[in-house]
Structure 1
Amino acid sequence: MRLAAFIAAHHESILHAWVAFAKNQLPAARNLDAMGLEDHGTKILEEIVRNMAVKEDESESKAKSEGQSLLASTSAQVPSRSHARQRERQGFEVGQMVAEYRALRATVLRLWRDSGRQMTPQDLDDMMRFNEAVDQALAESVEVFIAELDRARDLFLGVMGHDLRGPLSSIASAAAVEMRKWPDDVRFAPLILRSVRQMKALLDDLMEFTTYRLGNGLSLSPVHMQLDQFARETLDEIETVSRGRTLRLECHGDMTVEWDQRRVHQALSNLVFNALKYGFADSPIVVSIDGSASHVRVAVRNTGKPIAPHLLPRLFDPLVREEREDDETGSQVAGANLGLGLYVVREIAAAHGGTAEVTSTADMTEFCMHLPRMCTATPPGTEGPVGNGASAIA
């Protein structure tokens, strides 16, 4: 009996051995009954049998063994994908799910070997096709499993960021009341309010990250802005927590734009705080705005140690940080402890129809955004262009 026919005829004994392995070897499975463990087992075996019956050339065989088959279904209802979603919800780890497929592979081949049949030259081809089909199913399962884990993490972060805003607002309100009631004895309220602003910056970055990751995109509300006045107000706000550092503003050309004020404020603040963190303490931070062209250039410059070259290609990616010996854990940089600040800058620039980039030498590090004067907002859920620049990490 050929291997595909053997699997079809003995799927019950194969599933029984699969369940026995999962029950004894996988901690997440110990509280599941046989039905829960079998899950999509029958359908996975049926899919493997169908896969083995499809004619294929050598290139397709190689692609399938690597989980890259162009002929594989992209449907979310493919048994291997459904199995992955179910296992993630049941508390399995990805290694435990992979072990299930390893057990399935070993079980089928062992039962086939012990069936008492006479081996034929076609058996090697059958074994290769079987392994290719299992590899394809495994690749599909792992891809979906990891995607489910990422989505669960993003949902958790989004809910946490949203729920933390309530108590943070209460803390700020209480500190403000203290300042009004006892204006002559204000020792801790200003410190509390500065800390609240720093925490709000972190939460803003976290919310932008999870919003974009969950596929909702960045919704924009462009308004008429006088950019030089807006930048001056932003820097005045930052100066209250920048420990006496010098912030310099240089403006040239037409300062009239239509952008989302809240998001551009967030992006500019992230870049300035980033420069404060990594620039030399005795050197000024320069914000330069050039409105002499159709695309306005907003740049933040600092003098400090250059960015490591290996970080430049991925510096705007999320959860990337540059670790330095003089790095302070108490940094006030927006997003610094999360590695999200520059990612948020890139996505805000992209949502406006612009780009974010960086240059870094021994003399200077400069981050800049190039934004069209009139915002060309990206529809929510549509991924904007990805910046390929870098900076001294947020």
Structure 2
Amino acid sequence: MSDLALTDHAEAILCAIASDIETHQSTQQQYDKSQGDEADFSGEESAAAIHGRLRQASNFSLLQLSSEFRALRATVLRLWLSRVHQMSETTIQEMIRFNEAIDQALAESIVTFSSRADRTRDLFLAVLGHDLRAPLATVTLVAELLTRTALPPDQVAPLGQKAKRSAMLMSSMVTDLLGFTCLQMGAGMPTTRLMIDAQEVCKAAVADAHAMYPGSAIVFQPRGNLTGAFDAIRLQQLLTNLLINAAQYSAKGQDITLLAAGDEDAIAFKVCNFGPVIPEESLKTIFQPLVQLDPDSGDDARPKTSLGLGLFIAHETTAAHNGTISVTSSVDEGTVFTVHFPREGV
């Protein structure tokens, strides 16, 4: 983030603190504030409260949020003390009031941060339950049909394929959920990198995506030297997520292309599909967790993996390999996800 973005609410927070310091405070009010009883979150949202809510939306952790206030406190006190030539009772009281106000601002930020985090968690659990229900229902129905002795033999294979696709869909959700959980716990995306031929990983990713979306035509185009130091499982998950996303939003009858190109300086992967153009404002948030775009057609029977984690996991996997991921979307070029790994990084 830029310096301006990192200090977006600092001025408003400090102005509110300065105003608080200049306001008379009784002994009882000071005691209530020390107990956390002075906070009033029912009125107009303060700059600190807005800051906490927006920091959660920007994927900051609670530790990072508190670190901002710690840095703000330390900076102000350092600048303040450099101008104090002799400590007085007034100065001491002002510094006490300042620290109380900083703590109050931090509390306001934590309240809105936690409130938004709770709503996000509840939404995520609701979406998870909703999206798992459909494939589970399919597997249950197939199991019930297969137990019937009168089932014609020619219907067994199609039912087995339906059950397989549903199982793969649930497996994809669980895999993304586990990766998301690791990242939320601060463990980072676990990777074990070995020298591999990424072309074989690409073929496996294409097979996985095609098994889930058998009606989609996926064209794989390898070019150049694709040998590099990758975590094969994570790379396959990354490419599978991009292909699944492309299949989910691609217009019917349009090919999906996976281009893998290796040259002297880098190894790059591009996944391209033609479908609804992604709005510019959505491109800025598409790699954040729990962000979903609505498919263009409401009657589309293709399965939806709408947990909103696939692209987030792809982004974090790319970062774990010292690479970059970007997306463009237009009518003429389609939607193109580009993953770029510098040769020295792989």
TM-score (norm 1): 0.55
Contact 1:258 1:373 in 2 (8 A): no
Contact 1:226 1:256 in 2 (8 A): yes
Instruction: Tell me how far 1:220 sits from its aligned partner.
Output: 0.3
For 2:48 and 2:177, locate their aligned partners in 1 and report how far apart those are by CA, in whole Å: 38
Partner of 2:26: 7
Match of 2:263 among 292, 301, 311: 292
Q: How many residues align?
A: 266
For 1:221 and 1:183, locate their aligned partners in 2 and report how far apart those are by CA, in whole Å: 47
Structure 1: which amino acid aligns with 2:319? A
- Is 1:346 aligned with 2:315? yes
Contact 2:208 2:240 in 1 (8 A): no
Match of 1:268 among 239, 258, 261: 239
Partner of 1:72: 73
For 1:183 and 1:203, locate their aligned partners in 2 and report how far apart those are by CA, in whole Å: 33
Trace 1:175-254 onto structure 2 (pairs within 5 A).
184=153, 186=156, 188-254=159-225
For residues 324 and 238 of structure 1, do their structure 2 counterparts lie closer, same or farther at Cα, with a shift above 3 Å needed? closer
Partner of 1:143: 109
For residues 372 and 143 of structure 1, do their structure 2 counterparts lie closer, same or farther at Cα, with a shift above 3 Å needed? same
Partner of 1:31: none
For residues 211 and 344 of structure 1, do their structure 2 counterparts lie closer, same or farther at Cα, with a shift above 3 Å needed? same
CA RMSD of aligned residues (A): 4.4
Residue deviations 1:281-331 (CA, integer Å, cap 9, x gap): 111111101011332011111122321122122221222222254156765
Instruction: Tell me how far 1:130 sits from its aligned partner.
Output: 11
For residues 199 and 339 of structure 1, do their structure 2 counterparts lie closer, same or farther at Cα, with a shift above 3 Å needed? same
Q: Decide which structure has the larger Cα Rg and report it.
A: 1
Partner of 1:387: none
**5+ residue gaps in structure 1?**
16-40, 47-62, 75-127, 377-394
Partner of 1:388: none
Residue deviations 1:21-49 (CA, integer Å, cap 9, x gap): xxxxxxxxxxxxxxxxxxxx545589xxx
For residues 369 and 259 of structure 1, do their structure 2 counterparts lie closer, same or farther at Cα, with a shift above 3 Å needed? same
For residues 281 and 212 of structure 1, do their structure 2 counterparts lie closer, same or farther at Cα, with a shift above 3 Å needed? same
SS of structure 2 residue aligned to 1:144: helix
TM-score (norm 2): 0.62
SS of structure 2 residue aligned to 1:317: coil
Partner of 1:360: 329
Query: 144-153 or 188-197: which moved more?
Result: 144-153
For 1:264 and 1:328, locate their aligned partners in 2 and report how far apart those are by CA, in whole Å: 32
**5+ residue gaps in structure 2?**
1-20, 39-46, 52-67, 76-93
For residues 369 and 183 of structure 1, do their structure 2 counterparts lie closer, same or farther at Cα, with a shift above 3 Å needed? farther
- Is 1:281 aligned with 2:300? no
For 2:282 and 2:312, locate their aligned partners in 1 and report how far apart those are by CA, in whole Å: 14
Residue deviations 1:119-176 (CA, integer Å, cap 9, x gap): xxxxxxxxx9999877644421132335556389769979x99xx9xxx9xx79x97x
For residues 256 and 327 of structure 1, do their structure 2 counterparts lie closer, same or farther at Cα, with a shift above 3 Å needed? farther
For 1:304 and 1:367, locate their aligned partners in 2 and report how far apart those are by CA, in whole Å: 13
Contact 2:48 2:108 in 1 (8 A): no
Residue deviations 1:27-77 (CA, integer Å, cap 9, x gap): xxxxxxxxxxxxxx545589xxxxxxxxxxxxxxxx999988765369xxx
Trace 1:90-101 onto structure 2 (pairs within 5 A).
none
Instruction: Tell me how far 1:3 sits from its aligned partner.
Output: 9.3
Structure 1: which amino acid aligns with 2:310? G
For 2:22 and 2:222, locate their aligned partners in 1 and report how far apart those are by CA, in whole Å: 75
